[in-house]
A and B are shown apart, each in its own frame.
Chain A
Amino acid sequence: MVQETYRVLPGPEAYLAPAAAMMGVMPPDSGSAIVEGSVVSEDEAIAVIARKLADAKNPAVCPGPLLIWQWDDGVSAKAAAVRELAEACGAKILPMIDYSARRIRTDMEISPNHPNVTILQNDIDVCLFAGVHSHYANYALRLIRARTDCYTIVLGDYSASEDAMASLRDINVDKINAITEKIKSLKRG
């Protein structure tokens, strides 16, 4: 049953939170972003993301395979920008190295198969995914929403993740730097 009023909010929501798409939340078109299930402008989303990261007690940045491995020439520049963003908000870096169901070190990494364990073990209140393929990101985000109260943010290479509480699409270095600058100015007060 589609509920038009469904909002993508921090949990814990259920044993497994429903896919936001199933609840009627649509990913934004090019030029837009999404915050808590509503389509907003990119500037609004950037402001929300920066505020959440700046105010977080224990944020984490989770770079995924698209940002960890040198599969494309543009990866290094994006990785450097995300690293700077993490430093600006004092975030712990918990990489999502791959998507396999292997046993992971929950104090050092996160996996789409049981991301909630890493979030809970490290007491993360705001986490940001970047460079994670959407289908794995969405599954991980549902698990985090289901079993933790962590606020989730996704910077999508191509599309936004409707299962995140805030998400930007077509991410590039300029957009990442805009978030970083905003965080820095919020931190300065």
Chain B
Amino acid sequence: MSKKIITPVKEFEEFLTPEYKELIANGPYNRDKPTTVDDLGTFYEMTGPHPHCAGCGVSLAIRLGLASLPAPEDTIVIGTPGCSYFALTQSTLNYSCTAFGNQNSVASGLKRMLKVRHPDKQKDVLVMVGDGGVADIGLDNTLHSWFRGENIATVMLDNEVYGNTGGQESGMTTEGTVLNMAPTGKKFPKIPMFELAKTSGCVYAAKVTVASPKKVGETIRKAILVAREIGPTYVQVYGPCPTNLKFPPSKTIEAAKDGEKSYYKYEEYMTDGAKEYLNRSKA
């Protein structure tokens, strides 16, 4: 069924919008080989026009992530309110926005249901939410989904701030950062989500920034593949926010590169089981 859900019946094909016709003919669906970040610019992407601010690191991370899905027609993305919602809801992907912080619980239930409904088919459930959704409001749901060993991939789009509500500090804001709604600076360091992931049951975890687009694509793809059979996975992507961190929109990549010199130095962790599974998948 999966490829058929993006194949129109001939009776109504002519009534589809030009964008949908282009998506069907030249999009990431209906391909023998899944697209990668290297293919960007050569195919019609799932991310459409969206209302993110100029230079938004989160929207770039989403674009890179959606270009790297191993099976877009069999993928459901679960989100939560916040900046990430804007690009994801404008995409042509199966996307569901949950109540704030509930994303990993909803994803757990959905994945279990899909296993029952489609026992002979891999259905990928990908959680793609901001730092507030993972590390603050949804921290308990996120950690418990990892403790339970759910077969879901969690991607944190870390812009280090609650961006679309005026600039409140999140648990992932770096210590000392002054924001519109944190005028005296944040008083404690970033929550160690990457370390928590490793100790809470994630079999694969990675820390990347949008300044390394290929790595963003590769780690998200690996996280989705490993989550299919081995266990929960986690990717933390840094996509800095020019609007609230007060730098020019043209400097997003520079800001992300600066991040790579300190907290966001590239790190990848995987268990032996995950490594073996990835090697098998490659073969």
Contacts and interface: CB of A to CB of B under 8 A. Distances in A.
Interface residues of B, number: 21
A100 B9 contact: no
A108 interface: yes
B91 interface: yes
Interface in A96-152: 97-98, 100-105, 108-109
A68 interface: yes
Interface stretch (B12-20, B152-160, B191-199): B12-20
A76 B8 CA distance: 9
B7 A70 contact: yes
B49 A75 contact: no
Given A97-B17, A109-B17, A70 B8 contact: yes
A88 interface: no
Interface size class of A (residues with CB under 8 A): 20 to 34
A70 B12 CA distance: 11
A100 B91 CA distance: 8
B40 interface: no
Contact of B6 (A69, A72, A80): A69
A168 B5 CA distance: 25
B271 to A, nearest CB: 36
A101 B195 CA distance: 36
Contacts, number: 64
A58 to B, nearest CB: 17
A15 interface: no
Contacts of A93: 12, 15
B12 A83 contact: yes
Contacts of B15: 63, 93-95, 108
B44 interface: no
Contacts of B4: 69-71
B11 A79 contact: yes
Given A93-B15, A95-B15, A68 B90 contact: no
B95 to A, nearest CB: 7
Contact of A102 (B7, B10, B90): B90
Interface in A49-98: 63, 67-72, 75-76, 79-80, 82-83, 93-95, 97-98
Nearest to B20: A97
A76 B17 contact: no
B48 A63 contact: no
B92 interface: yes
Nearest to B89: A101
Which of A70, A98, A103, A105 has the most chain B CB atoms inside 10 A of its CB?
Answer: A70
Contacts of A98: 92
A79 B92 CA distance: 23
Interface string A10-39: 000000000000000000000000000000
B1 interface: yes
Contact of A83 (B5, B11, B90): B11
Which of B7, B15, B89 has the most chain A CB atoms inside 10 A of its CB?
Answer: B15
Interface in B1-45: 1, 4-12, 15-17, 20
Contact of A95 (B1, B12, B91, B95): B12
A105 B16 CA distance: 10
Contact of A100 (B1, B11, B89): B89
A76 B10 contact: yes
Contact of B48 (A68, A94, A97, A103): A103
A100 B7 contact: no
Contacts of B48: 102-103
A153 to B, nearest CB: 18
B90 to A, nearest CB: 5
A118 B192 CA distance: 48
Give the 10 A-B residue pairs with the shortest CB-CB distance, closest first: A79-B11, A79-B9, A70-B4, A83-B11, A101-B89, A102-B90, A70-B7, A93-B15, A95-B15, A68-B12
Given A68-B9, A98-B92, A108-B17, 11 more contacts: A68-B8, A69-B4, A70-B5, A71-B5, A72-B1, A82-B11, A93-B12, A97-B20, A102-B91, A103-B49, A108-B15
